[in-house]
Amino acid sequence: MTPEPHHPSRLDLREACIAEATAIIESRGIESLSLREVARRLGVSHQAPYRHFPSRDHVLAEVIRRSFAEFAAALNAPPKTDNIGADALAMGMAYVNFALSRPLQYRLIFGGALPDPERHGEMLQGARAAFGVLQTMLARIFTERGQPFDQEAINREALFIWSSLHGIVSLMRCDALDTLELSPETRNGFAMIALQRVGIALGVAPSLTPGPHSKEMER
Amino acid sequence: MTPEPHHPSRLDLREACIAEATAIIESRGIESLSLREVARRLGVSHQAPYRHFPSRDHVLAEVIRRSFAEFAAALNAPPKTDNIGADALAMGMAYVNFALSRPLQYRLIFGGALPDPERHGEMLQGARAAFGVLQTMLARIFTERGQPFDQEAINREALFIWSSLHGIVSLMRCDALDTLELSPETRNGFAMIALQRVGIALGVAPSLTPGPHSKEMER
DNA sequence: TACATGAGTTGACACTGTCTACAAAGCTAT
DNA sequence: ATAGCTTTGTAGACAGTGTCAACTCATGTA
């Protein structure tokens, strides 16, 4: 067992590439990710990453795959209580918080600039996981209401929730908003208002104090 | 007046560049736009476009500016009636139809991959126009209801509508949806259901027949 | 010992955006 | 008319990129 066998360890470079690529994407966005810079930062030749990935898009797909998984985990992170309305709201806020605290990662997932999903199917397995989190939550809501199990109805609700949340966070990060001369209250309180409306549309009572903007959104 | 004065006409090349860039973006996406290919297609040298644009991002900004304007016009296109609920729904469907029939253009506008808006402020003037369309519609709704004019309330509603619509179309174009094993009814009817819910949240009665999926969404 | 394999290196190619220097028109003022 | 200046386009170069091919070299195995 040599102390420094030239190649530090078998899979280190692969992991290091992914880590470095993630760092670059998080700090400067997806379009300025270059495998050559990854290699440069790691102190290896510009071709070394190609020993572990067939192409740049495969690196990207792997980063995206992990981002999806992190996202699904974040949705599931809030501890569950016996108040289904509170749990649903907590999940909504977890969604919003993920999107706002990791904007470039969120855009990576939902920005629509994915490498051809035909060729990178495994990339989207995390998407299924995230959707599953939603479905589970809705199944719980349905059950507690005494409604019969109806997968189609659950899927419809899940799509509605997903689209609402995505719309909310997209708008909050939208450059165009800056040019609209909105009052700070309107801008900052918007997510909370929208979340409450989604809750109303779903029939889960938003158990919030009726204060004007009871709890300011972070950031 | 030479019949062929070498340079066909003064501003032709600038317009031709924009047209060609738009065509490339519409057919192959924003990331494969290259000024060199624009020049090549137009049969001029690779530097010719730089006589009319300081950089690639300026071409992009101009294409985006026009896309925004087209978008605002599309929102305003449906003829107005005396049924405010129908008008609002028509606008919502105009939004959805624009996004679905010109997906790459829509992504260009709201995808979040804009060139630095600090340096390209004029690019977003169309965004203000589009938001203004929404505000006007809401002011009309408020007036017909006899509610007092309240710009903040209007802005809140406008943001809510905008985010809902954006969420809807984003989801309909989302690659991740393809992996989710949804029934065709759920997928295709989703936009209509979501639009109706937005209408309900706004209190504009969706004057639709209660048929299960009364009018299939196009595409 | 001979050989095959995996990991990394080097060099090349075509492509990109952008900088600089150049050429040929047109306009304007003397 | 002629000299100069601006506009429009060209040509060449440079650094950066993804990717292909050929190379080294340590390792594992027959």
Evaluate if the CB of A47 falls below 7 Å from strand C: yes
Architecture of domain B65-202: Orthogonal Bundle (1.10)
Higher pLDDT, A152 or B204: A152
Place of tokens 């710009």: B151
Q: Would the pLDDT of B139 be above 70?
A: yes
At position A155, the amino acid (one-letter code) is N
Secondary structure of residue B47 in the 3-state scheme: coil
Check pLDDT > 60 for residue A209.
no
Residue B25: partners with Cβ closer than 8 Å, 6 or more residues away:
B33, B63, B104, B105, B108
| A63-202 classified as CATH 1.10.3720.10 | no
The ipTM is 0.81
Q: How far is the CA of B119 from the C1' of D9 (A)?
A: 27
A 10 A CB-CB count for A166 gives: 21
Going by pLDDT thresholds of 50, 70 and 90, the confidence category of residue A179 is confident
pLDDT at residue B205, as a whole number: 57
Mean pLDDT value of segment A164-190: 84
User: Which of B109, B120, B159 is best to mutate for the A interface (most A CBs within 10 A)?
Assistant: B159
List where CATH 1.10.10 sits in chain B. 1-53
Q: What angle do CA B178, B179, B184 make, to 5 degrees?
A: 50
Residues B10 and B89 sit within 8 Å (Cβ to Cβ): no
Average pLDDT over residues A111-132: 81
Q: Is there a contact between A141 and A122 (Cβ–Cβ < 8 Å)?
A: no
B51 touches strand D (CB under 7 A): yes
In this complex, the answer to whether residue A10 has its CB under 7 A from any atom of chain C, a nucleic strand, is yes
Binary contact (A117, B168; C-beta < 8 A) = no
Q: Which residues of chain A are in CATH 1.10.357.10 domains?
A: 63-202
Q: Are A75 and A91 in contact (CB under 8 A)?
A: yes
Nearest to B170 among A110, A155, A201 (CB): A110
Predicted pLDDT at B1: 32
Chain D bases near protein Cβ (<7 Å): 7-13, 16-22, 26-27
Instruction: Tell me how far CA of residue B6 lies from CA of A202, B2, B30, B135, in angstroms.
Output: 66, 9, 31, 49
Lowest-pLDDT choice from A56-65, A76-85, A160-169, A206-215: A206-215
Distance separating alpha carbons of residues A31 and B40, to the nearest angstrom: 24
Strand C contact at CB of residue A41, distance < 7 A: no
Residue B154 CB neighbour total at 10 angstroms: 20
Q: What is the CATH number of domain B1-53?
A: 1.10.10
Asked whether residue A17 carries a pLDDT value surpassing 90, the answer given is yes
* DSSP H helical ranges for chain B: 12-28, 35-42, 56-76, 84-101, 103-110, 125-145, 151-172, 184-202
Six token digits for residue A194: 């929208």
Interface test with B, best of A175, A181, A190, A193 (most B CBs within 10 A): A175
Whether residues B155 and A113 touch (CB distance < 8 A) is answered with no
Distance from CA(A57) to C1'(C22), angstroms, rounded? 41
What Å value separates CA A51 and C1' C4? 18
Q: How confident is the model at residue B121 (pLDDT cuts 50, 70, 90)?
A: confident
The answer to whether B45 CB sits below 7 Å from nucleic acid chain D is: yes
Q: How far apart are CA B186 and CA A180, in angstroms?
A: 35
Beta-carbon contacts of residue B128 (< 8 Å; ≥ 6 apart): A179, A180
Asked if strand D comes closer than 7 Å to A55 Cβ, the answer is: yes
Contacts 24+ apart (CB under 8 A), B16-24: B16/B42, B17/B42, B17/B49, B17/B52, B17/B53, B17/B59, B18/B59, B18/B62, B18/B63, B18/B66, B21/B59, B21/B60, B21/B63, B22/B63, B22/B66
Residues of B in contact with A124 (CB under 8 A): 175-176, 178-179
Domain with CATH 1.10.357.10 in chain B: 65-202
For chain A, report the end-to-end CA distance as a whole number of angstroms: 50
* B33 Cβ within 7 A of any nucleic strand C atom: yes
- Our measurement of CA B56 to C1' C9, in angstroms, reads 35
Output DSSP code: residue B205: -
Which of A117, A156, A170 is opposite residue B186, by nearest beta carbon? Answer: A156
Residue B126 has pLDDT above 90, yes or no: no
A118 touches chain B (CB under 8 A): no
User: In A, which residues are within 8 Å of B117 by CB distance?
Assistant: 175, 178-179
If contacts are CB pairs under 8 Å, which of residues 93-112 in chain A contact chain B? 107, 110-112
| Angle of CA points A169, A172, A176, to nearest 5° | 125
Mutate to test the interface with B, among A60, A104, A163 (most CBs of B within 10 A): A163
The CB-based long-range contact list for A108-112 (8 Å cut-off, 24+ gap) reads A108/A25, A108/A30, A108/A63, A108/A64, A108/A67, A109/A64, A109/A67, A109/A68, A109/A71, A110/A166, A110/A170, A110/B170, A110/B174, A110/B176, A111/A30, A111/B111, A111/B112, A111/B113, A112/B107, A112/B111, A112/B170, A112/B173, A112/B174, A112/B175
Cα separation, B60 vs B24, whole angstroms: 11
Six token digits for residue B196: 């109706």
Q: Output the pLDDT for position A36.
A: 97
**B76/B68 Cα distance (integer angstroms):** 13
